[in-house]
Amino acid sequence: MTKPHSEDKSGQAKRQAIPYGRQNITEEDIRVVTEALKSDYLTQGPRIASFERKFADYTGSDYAVAVSNGTAALHLSTMALGVKPGDKVITSPITFAASANCIRYCGGEVVFADIDPETLLLDVNEVRKLLEASPKGTYQGVVPVDFAGRACDLESFRQLAKEFDLWLIEDACHAPGGWFTDSTGAVQNCGNGNFADLAIFSFHPVKHIAAGEGGMITTNNEALYRKLLQLRTHGIIKDNERYVNSEAFATGEPDSETYPGWYMEMQELGFNYRLTDFQAVLGESQLGRAESGLIRRREIAQNYLDAFAGKAFIKGQSGVVQGHAYHLYVIEVADRLGLYNHLRSQSIFAQIHYIPCHLMPYYRQFGWKEGDLEHAENYYRHCISLPMFPTLTDDEQNFVISCISAYFEKTEK
């Protein structure tokens, strides 16, 4: 798998920069996109339904709705679930801001609950504490996030949802192909709709499946599915059975008993959140390689784990977790800034995921402050995401590992 390196004057191999994540576009991807561009459909056409069907099958859900990006998927989800001003919704502070912002788009209030410092996921016990501290009906929903690719225990969240009458949106952007085992021993795929009302995915280039931009919502709820289709296209429907206005109005002829071909109705306030056909074929082509990508991600995780096993400078290494989709490989170190800068000097672009959402200036205006969420804030001071993507070569990974080990061996003497 090793790429040949050109040598510079000192005889040292010159390396390409190594990012923390990178998309992989194959000749086959290019071929299918080119073919789609030559077809009659540029925006939403027949390839959307095909991608949706395949994605639903991949996750094991009944329905899938393709949209323009993961943020649009979150926004349509909060709309479809009827979030309104004053609604309180709980999510994790260790996530991309969109997981929380989608609640604000509908005027709801975001309540952050702390993470479990072991799993780095929204702590179901912290959520329970919040729910039990207020009268039932105070909170309307929870957005658990499969952070880094590790599947949330959605069975426990569903139990809470039942007790407290909540809806659940699973933010599975990091976890296509991830899974957890429920209390009966059954494997539950991320986004399969068995526990969450809706699950959302992103096809941003740094995620597992790249479509330029793109997103997907999966569900087993037919009513929500129909609503999402409608909201994706301005709230417009084209369905003779469901029109509000009369046939006479529609045709302009008082005796009409049928609707004319042009007729459609905007029944709700929706958006244009459509995916294009050429993005859908790219997504579908990438989906075909999702399993091999996952296998490679787990291999890379195992390599890091083996390399750092027993090293005192790494705090958080939870081992290779079953069902983890490894969007990110995160370690926690004491001297995070030093390591980040050292890696940059070697053209290794590690990244930080995430600056806690509740301490973003936007959320501070609602009263969130340092000290509110101890585990999330402590994690943020130490975390760093190492290069993790299927086309990372063994040679590149070994270089990353040796740079990290060398840095700590030097600074710890």
**52 sits in which H/E element:** helix 46-59
Residue nearer to ligand PLP on the CB measure, 61 or 71: 71
3-state class of 349 per DSSP? Answer: strand
Q: Is 388 exposed, middle or buried (0-12, 13-18, 19+ CB in 10 A)?
A: buried
**307 DSSP assignment:** H
Q: How far apart are alpha carbons 194 and 144 in whole angstroms?
A: 14
- Per the CB < 8 A criterion, the answer to whether 93 and 373 are in contact is yes
Q: Is 380 in the site for ligand PLP (CB under 6 A)?
A: no
Out of 70, 93, 149, 390, the only residue in the binding site for ligand PLP (CB under 6 A) is: 70
List 92, 99, 189, 192, residue binding ligand PLP (CB under 6 A): 99
Binding of ligand PLP by 95 (CB under 6 A): yes
Count of other CB atoms within 10 angstroms of residue 16: 9
Q: Interaction with ligand PLP in 268-297: which residues (CB under 6 A)? A: none
If one asks whether residue 174 binds ligand PLP (CB under 6 A), the answer comes out as yes
Determine which helix (DSSP H) or strand (DSSP E) holds 343, and give its type and residue range.
Answer: helix 336-345
State the residue number with the nearest CB to ligand PLP. Answer: 70
- Based on the shown chain and the rule CB under 6 A, indicate whether residue 328 belongs to the binding site for ligand PLP: no
Of 174 and 358, nearer to ligand PLP (C-beta) is 174
Q: Which of 171, 197, 277, 396 binds ligand PLP (CB under 6 A)?
A: 171
Cis bond before residue 326 (omega within 30° of 0):
no
DSSP code, position 387: P
Q: Which is nearer to ligand PLP, 206 or 321 (CB)?
A: 206
Question: Which residue, 233, 223, 217, 226, is CA-closest to 270?
Answer: 233
CB 218, CB 196: distance < 8 Å: no
Interacting residue with ligand PLP among 47, 104, 204, 324 (CB under 6 A): 204
Please list the residues that pair with 122 across neighbouring strands.
115
* Helix/strand/coil percentages in the chain, nearest 5: 40, 15, 45
Report the residue from 145, 160, 331, 348 that binds ligand PLP according to the rule CB under 6 A: 145
The site map against ligand PLP for 183-202 (x = CB under 6 A) is -------------------x
Identified binder of ligand PLP from the candidate list 63, 96, 179, 399, rule CB under 6 A: 96
Alpha helices in 165-273 (DSSP H): 222-232, 247-251
Kindly state the helix (H) or strand (E) to which residue 132 belongs, with its residue range: helix 124-132
Q: How far is the CB of 200 from ligand PLP (least distance, A)?
A: 7
* DSSP E strand stretches across 58-128: 63-67, 88-91, 109-112
User: Residue from 23, 44, 61, 71 that binds ligand PLP (CB under 6 A)?
Assistant: 71
Which range touches ligand PLP (CB under 6 A), out of 56-64, 95-103, 282-290, 338-346? 95-103
Q: Which of 23, 61, 69, 188 binds ligand PLP (CB under 6 A)?
A: 69
**Of 33, 48, 76, 98, which lies in the binding site for ligand PLP, with binding defined by CB under 6 A?**
98
Distance of CA 402 to the CA centre of its chain: 31
Closer CB to ligand PLP, 164 or 387, in the complex: 387
Amino acid at 409: E
Q: Which of residues 208-227 bind ligand PLP (CB under 6 A)?
A: 215
- Binding part of the chain for ligand PLP, among 16-24, 96-104, 179-187, 388-396 by CB under 6 A, reads 96-104
Given the rule CB under 6 A, which residues bind ligand PLP?
A: 69-71, 95-96, 98-99, 145, 171, 173-174, 202, 204, 215
